[in-house]
A and B are shown apart, each in its own frame.
Chain A
């Protein structure tokens, strides 16, 4: 009997196929790590396994019983517990109440409409709090806890449920160093009766913790096996770091050395969501005509960085465009000359391709005609609603409409996510062409080889900070150094 089994599971959202025939078998007592780049389908898999989403096709079995289509609480009753990537708690309750609620779940006491003593449940709750290290904070409202402590509460609740199967969604993400060690310790100390399925981007920990690893890519299982095998597997490396392309010819070398005043200057940028701080003091700059890459694994803050630059979320620190501080909101920054090609393309529902382009249009070098020359496919599809385009077409649209802003700086967030290798190559060529024509680019990418094939300079982000800044050429010559950061 398997603890968890997925048979040929398919799941799509909107037009996107998130899971494309996933087969997964996790034996009892195993510790399995689920890894893969962004957009691979890991979160969707968790949702399906947890009963929050129901598969379009395929079956989910929990401890040998068919649970496809059952609501989450039934699965919890069968012994499933999970934590969420972003702490999902009860804002007005304190830590103690959280843990008690978790232990109370299938207890007949939970149906008592009059106050009752909870007896042994309280002892159990205390014990869990001790294990997790939150006994001192038991009576604190969770809203007052640090982000790391909130994630610990998530963990405590999961443990209090006395699960047989534990689904952990990035338990280390967003934690400070000391908290990470604490969580790692707790996870390592989990009894072997509990089967654990873990999504984690800290690959060192994931590979060290897991008995076996499943690699997901574009909604399918790419590889499954022992950690060492998977780690060294060339296909897996390619998926994460990008294919070593022999055919890569002359990289765009700057026609003029990029000197002079910086186009974009960022100093001490701090930003986050809710309680968690994601960006912890970022400094970077982009010079006119330069193509700069920001590399790093998932969850390291690349998207948050670009979102903060575009004004989608409040941030502290300085952002200067051509020496002037940028206005605070999104509209102001768009008008000041920043344009974003967002993660996930983000077409605007209700508009056709041409309408999106016309919407974005601002006077300058790029016009509708020149854009159509660059993207003939968009011209063919110009009357189609933007939402029915394929992934690659939507990506081209996203780049096109950002270009039509005739911006001073083009921000690109993971433009290759979810695209086939052929399309990745196409996009790379487009961006190289743009760089050759003198556009300034700031590109956040997980696929390092793609990025290195078109930028001149690279920043590497780790846990919300810039840890390295080098010439792209250097990293191309020293792939080992790159692997060190990208896993």
Chain B
């Protein structure tokens, strides 16, 4: 993995995060502004193309950046969740047809839902409140859907940079 390039991409995605802020391109559903988690989508891309240990480290730093740019929640929570979930995805990916948009969609949907749900519940528990399970699930699902719709496009853009990122043609499924 080319760490410097990944850091630059992460920085650009953090800047893009504001584009999807409420009032911008966030989709209001039932009072909840659904926003895509682009940093997690980047982490997922790394998880399906790079070895688990590198993914773990990258996931940790992406989570920390996500923690730092958000205004709420405990610092370090997303770092922990990102690295653990992405490490797991990287281990379980097996022989998935990762170049298929549907697979990317499903993987993004599941990963973002799990991470966001865990984050909502953990934040509520740490804050001393009874976790609002249904509300959290709805918010997590909306964010996951939005991310999943954008994930194939993000993967396509990132695959255009496969050689600078250090992904071989075989890895990218373009033999």
**A, B assembled together:** no
Q: B interface vs A, CB < 8 Å? A: none
Q: A interface vs B, CB < 8 Å? A: none
